Amino acid sequence: MEQNPNKNPPYLRSLDALKEGVLQSGYTEKFVYGNTGYISSSDSKVYDLDQVKVISMISFQGDESADDHAELYIIETPDGTKGTFVKKQNKAS
């Protein structure tokens, strides 16, 4: 069964569109990854890897190069903080 690529939900068409969609769904915190775990951008609170629940991970491949790759992690913490973490990588480097 073939799927029409134009019928995908609009929030799945790009990384930025998906980030906007999850933001509107209440996943407002931005996290960065550090040596000690996930770090909340708003208050610098650190969550150990085993504390964070990954709700979904969506992978994106760049339009201009197959080597450009990003993964969006939609995550929740034990204290109810909901947000995203973006892991970007260029496989050619």
Is residue 76 domain-resident?
yes
Count of the separate structural domains present in the chain = 1
Q: Tell me the pLDDT tens digit for each residue of 17-73.
A: 778 888 889 999 999 988 889 999 999 999 999 999 999 998 877 666 656 778 889
Is residue 48 domain-resident?
yes
Q: pTM above 0.95?
A: no
Is residue 20 domain-resident?
yes
Is residue 36 domain-resident?
yes
Burial 50-78 (b: 16+ CB within 10 A, else e): eebeeeeeeebeeeeeeeeeeebbbbbbe
Half-sphere exposure of 35 (CA within 13 A, CB side): 0
Is residue 1 domain-resident?
no
Q: Which two tokens stand for residue 75?
A: 């995550």
Q: Which H or E run contains 83?
A: strand 82-90
Nearest in space to 84 (alpha carbons), one of 39, 34, 28: 28
More reliable by pLDDT, 89 or 69: 69
Interatomic CA distance for residues 37 and 9, integer angstroms = 32
Residue-range definition of the domain harbouring residue 18: 7-90
Nearest in space to 76 (alpha carbons), one of 47, 56, 54: 54
Is residue 16 domain-resident?
yes
Beta bridge partners of 75: 54, 83
